[in-house]
Structure 1
Amino acid sequence: MRPDLLGRVLSLLPTGGGRPELKAFSAMLRDYPQRGGKGIRSELLLASARAHGLQPGTPGGEGALWLAAALELFQNWVLIHDDIEDDSEERRGRPALHRLHGVPLAINAGDALHAYMWAAVHHAQVPGAVEEFLNMVWRTAEGQHLDLTWVQHRAWDLTEGDYLEMVRLKTAYYTVVMPLRLGALAAGVTPDERFTAAGLNLGAAFQIRDDVLNLAGDPLKYGKEIGGDLLEGKRTLIVLHWLAHAPEEQKGTFLEQMRRDRQDKDAEAIANIHRWLLESGSVEYAQDYADRQAREGLALLAEALEDAPDQAAARELLGQMRGLATREA
């Protein structure tokens, strides 16, 4: 996250009172924002605002910056809750918040950041922004519900279409669709309806690429534990494709491990499954799928930005989206 946005986020958060417990609470609220996230979504929002003609220092610029700060707060409270729901060990190279402070305190910190997100939206004073944030929260919760339900019920009889629906809801709306739309609104422009279709494709490409990095990425660059999706029993395009073609013995080992809770999984069996996935060609299949989604999304986005007021900024936005959908870390 860029320093000016981090400062804006932190300016909303309490500094604590006289009680040591409240000072500790304030430190918890600042923890995830200060861990150095990439600020992908806020940067897309600001790039969209520039493409739609909003120049830095103009009256609408403050509104765009507050919406960008609100997106960062959304990202951070969702990550706190997501780490609890997935029983994750790490976030951005450090122990997850609930590992440091326990689940009840981490939930409470996430709830508080959710409230401060709405404070940032209020500060923005951008017409239509509240409705966009409501839709974003709702869609993300729907996608998370699908993901968590499949994990809870040990469901593996899923199709690639099921996976795509889940990631479009869980990831694409808040990663791409809403930043594009919010940037336009900040500039006083009605968002192009093609942003939704473009954003859903690009967001799916982003998530599939994240799934690839979780299995085959550089742990120093990735910021989360490599192979964590296997331990958490995540449904990914890689695994669903592999299951459709895996030898019965390997498939049986996989399903037996996935019936276990994370702490009960056998480390050697998980390591073998990890190796089978890497050797199977399913990682390459998923990357090719992501590349197709990215191409379709970029073509739609280019069409939507053909008449954007600032064409240089529009080209910059397309470049950012291309890098996002094909990222290496």
Structure 2
Amino acid sequence: MRNLIAEFIDQVLPRTHTRPEIQHLFDLMRDYPVRGGKMLRSQLLMMVARAFGGPAERALPLAAGLEMFQNWVLIHDDIEDDSEDRRGQPALHRLHGIPLALNAGDALHVYMWQVVHQSGVPGAFEEFLNTIHRTAEGQHVDLSWVVNGSWDLSEADYLQMVHLKTAYYTVVAPFRLGMLAAGLTPDPEIEAAGLKLGAAFQIRDDVLNLIGDAADYGKEIAGDLLEGKRTLVLLHWLAQASPEQKAFFLKVMSLPRDQKQAADIQQILQWLHDSGSIQHAQHMADAEAAEGLRLIRNVLSRASDQKTADQILHLLEQLATRMV
């Protein structure tokens, strides 16, 4: 499926132009797609379509569109977070500057809509709209906390943010689009299941950012601390940190990324390890995953191809319960 999706995107995106500046744009548009990635969301869409009796040729354009969505959003996200790396290489704006990277993301966005429009699947356009609306809302909440220096946040605030920013395009959209590709009305239980599973995935990713292996993770370890991202781990730790620890933390977080000292970040990391907050986040991810998997089993129990449904469930279980 990864090869099919990659080949479809390769055929859709323009390849050559006589004007060198436009040739450069085409090259930038292809950069993140060529780097690969796991393509989990787009593959999940195709598997759901197959499980519910949908032909691959109807699901493939939507899967490619979802993968293109992932790539242009990542270009923009890396700019907004001033990230260093993406998929084991420097982020696009680090290589070519913000203006060119931003424009390449915009251009890729347009090709995504072209693919969705040409798919001809009823309801797909509206589903993409809803997914992008929710993702943008979640991203704005996340970025606003950083811009406004907000740390007085609850775990409920965090969960609402990740439901919007992560869960819709990670689980809800692939399932709903897969069922639309199969000519069916999306199951009403998908959203509740997807929000739970999406939260579990994001919490696991937050933990991996702190203690994962850089080669496997594909991004810099502790990048969330350098970027001042609000995560469940940090919010839980702040609620129990001593006044001295909290003052030190807030002082470090008030600094621009390039002024944060490695020794200070290591000190905060050590406090997080010692506090039990990482384990707390893992426990919450376990609870979210358990409920999400229970709900998604109900959805998949109604699939016509139970072999594929079992494969989907196995994949989701691996992602939702992965330990670090």
Q: TM-score, normalised by structure 1?
A: 0.96
Output the CA distance in 2 between the equivalents of 1:36 and 1:128. 28
Aligned positions of 1:42-53 closer than 5 A? 42-53=42-53
| Paired amino acid for 2:247 | G
Provide the rounded CA distance (Å) in 2 between the counterparts of 1:64 and 1:112: 23
8 Å Cα contact 1:52-1:308 kept in structure 2 = yes
Secondary structure at the residue paired with 2:240?
coil
Tell me the distance in 1 between the aligned counterparts of 2:57 and 2:29. Answer: 23
How do 1:51-130 residues align onto structure 2 when only pairs under 5 Å count? 51-54=51-54, 60-130=55-125
Aligned to 2:155: 160
Structure 2 counterpart of 1:57: none
Question: For residues 133 and 225 of structure 2, what CA distance do their matches in structure 1 show?
Answer: 27
Q: Which residue does 1:199 correspond to in 2?
A: 194
Pairing of 1:144-183 with structure 2 (within 5 A): 144-183=139-178
Q: How many residues align?
A: 324
Q: Which residue is equivalent to 1:21?
A: 21
Counterpart of 1:294?
289
Question: How far apart, in 1, do the equivalents of 2:175 and 2:160 lie?
Answer: 20
Equivalent of residue 229 in structure 1, options 219, 224, 233: 224
Matched residue type, 2:83: S
Find the aligned partners of 2:124 and 2:190 in 1 and give their Cα distance. Answer: 16
State whether residues 209 and 217 of structure 2, in contact with CA within 8 Å, keep that contact through their aligned partners in structure 1.
Answer: yes
Contact 1:16–1:24 (8 Å) recurs in 2: no
| CA deviation after TM superposition for structure 1 residue 267, in Å | 2.0
Query: What displacement does 1:130 show?
Result: 0.2
Structure 2 matches for 1:220-259, cutoff 5 A? 220-259=215-254
Equivalent residues of 1:62, 1:124 under 8 A apart? no
Q: 1:228-273 deviations in whole A, cap 9, x for unaligned?
A: 0000000000000000111221111111111111112122111111
Question: Structure 1, unaligned stretches of length 5 or more?
Answer: 55-59
Alignment of 1:29-40 (within 5 A): 29-40=29-40
Q: How much does 1:296 deviate? A: 0.1
For 2:256, the equivalent position in structure 1 comes to 261
| Deviations 1:44-82 (CA, angstroms, capped at 9, x unpaired) | 10111111122xxxxx42120000000000000000000
Contact 1:216 1:278 in 2 (8 A): no
User: Is the 8 Å Cα contact of residues 46 and 56 (structure 2) preserved in structure 1?
Assistant: no
Deviations 1:162-206 (A, max 9, x none): 000000000000000000000000001111010000000000000
Structure 2 residue identity aligned to 1:11 = Q
Q: Does 1:187 align with 2:203?
A: no
Tell me whether 1:219 sits opposite 2:186 in the alignment: no
Verify the 8 A CA contact 1:128 1:185 in the aligned structure 2. Answer: yes
Q: 1:303-318 alignment to 2 at 5 Å?
A: 303-318=298-313
The residue type paired with residue 22 of structure 1 is I
Contact map agreement 2:93 2:100 (CA 8 A) in 1: yes
CA RMSD of aligned residues (A): 1.1
- Whole-Å separation in 2 of the counterparts to 1:228 and 1:275: 15
Report runs of 4+ in structure 1 exceeding 6 Å deviation. Answer: none
| Overall identity of the aligned pairs, in % | 61
State the shift of 1:149 in Å: 0.3
Residue of structure 2 in register with 1:9 after alignment: 9
Counterpart secondary structure, 2:184: coil
Unaligned runs of 5+ in 2: none
Equivalent residues of 2:8, 2:64 under 8 A apart: yes
CA-to-partner distance for each residue in 1:92-120, whole Å, 9 max, x for gaps? 11000000000000000000010010111
Q: Distance in 1 between matches of 2:225 and 2:121?
A: 41
